[in-house]
Chain A
Amino acid sequence: MTAESFQPPAPPFNAAATSAIEARHLTKRFDGLTVVSDMSLTVGQGEMVGLIGPNGAGKTTMFNLLAGSLAPTAGEIWIAGREVSGDPPEKRIAHGVARTFQIPRPFAEMSVLENLLVGAQKQHGERLFANFLTPGLVRREEKTALDKAHTLLDFVTLSRLAHEPARVLSGGQRKLLELARVLMADPQVILLDEPAAGVNPALLEVIIERVVALNEQGKSILLIEHNMDMVSRLCSRVVAMALGRPLAEGSPADVAANPAVIEAYLGGVA
Chain B
Amino acid sequence: MTLDLVAYGAFFLTMALTYAIICLGLNVQWGMTGLFNVGIAAFVAVGAYTSAILTTPETPDRFGGFDLPIAIGWLGAAVVSGALSWGVGALTIRLRADYLAIATFGVAVTVQLCMLNLQPLTGGAFGIGFIPRPFAQLQADALLFSLANCGLLMLVIAGLYLGLQHVAKSPWGRVLRAIREDETAAQALGKRPIRFRLQAFTLGGAIMGLAGAAQAHFIGFIAPDNYMPILTFQVWAMLIVGGSGNNRGAIAGAILVWGLWALTAAAVSAFVPPEDQAQAAALQIVAIGVGLCLMLLLRPRGLFGEVSPLARLRNTLPLSAKE
Contact = CB atoms under 8 A, between A and B. Distances in A.
Interface of A: 67, 69, 88-94, 98-99, 101, 105-111, 114-115, 117-121, 123, 125-128, 131-132, 138, 142, 163-165, 167, 181-182, 185
A266 to B, nearest CB: 34
B188 A138 contact: no
A181 B181 CA distance: 15
B83 interface: no
B60 interface: no
A92 B191 CA distance: 11
Given A92-B190, A93-B189, A120-B171, 16 more contacts: A88-B192, A89-B184, A101-B185, A105-B182, A105-B184, A107-B186, A114-B177, A117-B171, A117-B174, A118-B174, A119-B189, A126-B175, A128-B172, A131-B172, A163-B312, A167-B310
B273 interface: no
A126 B309 contact: no
B190 A90 contact: yes
Contacts of B189: 90, 93, 118-119, 181-182, 185
Interface string B151-194: 00000000000010011001110110110011011111111110
Interface string B188-223: 111111000001000100000000000000000000
B191 A165 contact: no
A108 B181 contact: yes
15 contacts: A69-B184, A88-B192, A92-B188, A92-B190, A93-B190, A105-B182, A110-B181, A118-B186, A120-B171, A127-B172, A128-B167, A128-B199, A165-B310, A167-B310, A182-B188
B172 A107 contact: no
A88 B183 CA distance: 13
Interface of B: 163, 166-167, 170-172, 174-175, 177-178, 181-182, 184-193, 199, 203, 308-310, 312-313
B172 A118 contact: no
Given A90-B190, A90-B192, A110-B181, A125 B170 contact: yes
B36 to A, nearest CB: 19
A108 B170 CA distance: 19
A93 B184 CA distance: 13
B25 to A, nearest CB: 14
Contacts of A119: 189
A185 B191 CA distance: 12
Contacts of B185: 101, 105-107
A120 B312 CA distance: 24
A45 B299 CA distance: 55
A127 B200 CA distance: 11
